Amino acid sequence: MKLTETKADMQGRISSLSGDDHFMNRITSIGITEGTSFQTVRNDRNMPVLIYLRETLISLNRADAERIGVERI
């Protein structure tokens, strides 16, 4: 499933990242890497996705969130 498909309070793990080198550098520099656990805080339609990851609240635009594959834990 994609990060944009998660619901609020869902806990999961990053399973895949797909994108060009620029995207990969940006996303990994803020701590989003494969295998990292997260919790979806808010995921309202047409709004950024808010996740809690590595003791940090992160806001991702929907285009970037579409490139992140996740699995429920």
Question: 20 is written with which tokens?
Answer: 């060009």
Virtual torsion, Cα 13, 25, 55, 1, nearest 10 deg? -20
pLDDT in tens, 55-72: 999 999 999 999 999 999
Q: What's the confidence (pLDDT) of residue 65? A: 97
Distance CA 42, CA 46 (A): 12
Beta strand spans in 1-73 (E) = 11-17, 37-42, 49-53, 56-60, 68-72
Q: What's the confidence (pLDDT) of residue 63? A: 96
66: domain CATH number is 2.30.30.90
Question: 45 is written with which tokens?
Answer: 């339609």
Q: What's the confidence (pLDDT) of residue 3? A: 97
Q: Which domain holds residue 51?
A: 3-72
Structural domain total, the chain:
1
Q: What's the confidence (pLDDT) of residue 7? A: 96
Q: What residues of the chain score a pLDDT lower than 50?
A: none
